[in-house]
């Protein structure tokens, strides 16, 4: 259902040039009629507002029932940072956050993780932008499990593309749940985007391309 908060988030992404329509090659190699690039958030006001959307989704789903949040390098770093700030500011939920380096540091404190140091028994949530084929998740989970005996319970993303993963009968989100036991929660999904385009009425060609793409690659 396309709620007022979802419309607000979609228009927020469009105003920041984060949600774009056209033809884009995704990490999975598919030619997509839309693309979500959270790297286009570039102002303090934008990242502050984005954090509120993530914080609301985290609060509604997990409440206070987690120990730390992880932002995978690189795009997950500002996402986790802004979400942590908004959780503390808006809901008085003050949780530590951390992220990884692509290459381990061999001087100073060393290691590949920056910020909070995971402890055995921690319940960790991941903050990311989107899931297309699940490739990034498969790279991220080993990093966390090698840091400590943690449980990765939930993952929060901006947009669920609802696309099939390696198994043609399952979406990438379903595969993440089956392989790692992680529940993925999105602020909006591809159906919300299509519903928005329908209600707007100015995106006839884009909507047609979206519907063709969904027919070929998506599963609900």
Q: Which residues carry a binding-site annotation for 5-phospho-alpha-D-ribose 1-diphosphate?
A: 27, 74-75, 101-102, 105, 107, 128-136
Catalytic status, residue 25: no
Is the Cβ–Cβ distance between 96 and 68 less than 8 Å? yes
Q: Residue 37's closest CA among 45, 26, 28?
A: 26
One-character DSSP codes across 45-101: HHHHHHHHHHHHHHHHHHTT--SEEEE-TTTHHHHHHHHHHHHHHHH-----EEEEE
Binding residues for orotate: 132, 161
Q: Which of 105, 117, 177, 198 is catalytic?
A: 105
Element (H, E) at 194: helix 190-200
Binding residues: 27, 74-75, 101-102, 105, 107, 128-136, 161
Q: Which of 107, 149, 198, 219 is catalytic?
A: 107
Q: Which residue has 């609301």 as its token pair?
A: 56
Catalytic status, residue 149: no
Residue partners of 120: CB distance under 8 A and separation at least 6: 148, 149, 150
Any idea which residues carry the catalytic annotation?
105, 107
């Amino acid at each position: 259902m396309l709620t007022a908060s979802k419309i607000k988030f979609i228009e927020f992404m469009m105003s920041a040039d984060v949600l774009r329509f056209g033809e884009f090659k995704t990490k999975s190699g598919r030619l997509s009629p839309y693309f979500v690039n959270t790297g286009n958030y570039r102002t303090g006001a934008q990242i502050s507002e984005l954090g509120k959307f993530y914080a609301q989704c985290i609060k509604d789903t997990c409440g206070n029932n987690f120990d730390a949040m992880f932002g995978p390098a690189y795009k997950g770093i500002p996402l986790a940072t802004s979400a942590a700030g908004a959780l503390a500011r808006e809901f008085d939920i003050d949780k530590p956050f951390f992220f990884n380096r692509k290459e381990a540091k061999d001087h100073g404190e060393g290691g590949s993780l920056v910020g909070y140091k995971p402890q055995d028994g921690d319940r960790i949530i991941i903050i990311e932008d989107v899931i297309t084929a699940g490739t990034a998740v498969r790279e991220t989970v080993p990093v966390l499990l090698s840091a400590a005996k943690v449980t990765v319970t939930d993952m929060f993303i901006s947009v669920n593309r609802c696309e099939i993963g390696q198994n043609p009968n399952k979406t990438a989100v379903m595969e993440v749940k089956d392989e790692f036991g992680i529940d993925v929660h999105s602020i909006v999904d591809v159906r919300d985007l299509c519903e928005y385009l329908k209600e707007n009425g100015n995106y006839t060609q884009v909507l047609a391309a979206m519907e063709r793409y969904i027919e070929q690659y998506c599963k609900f």
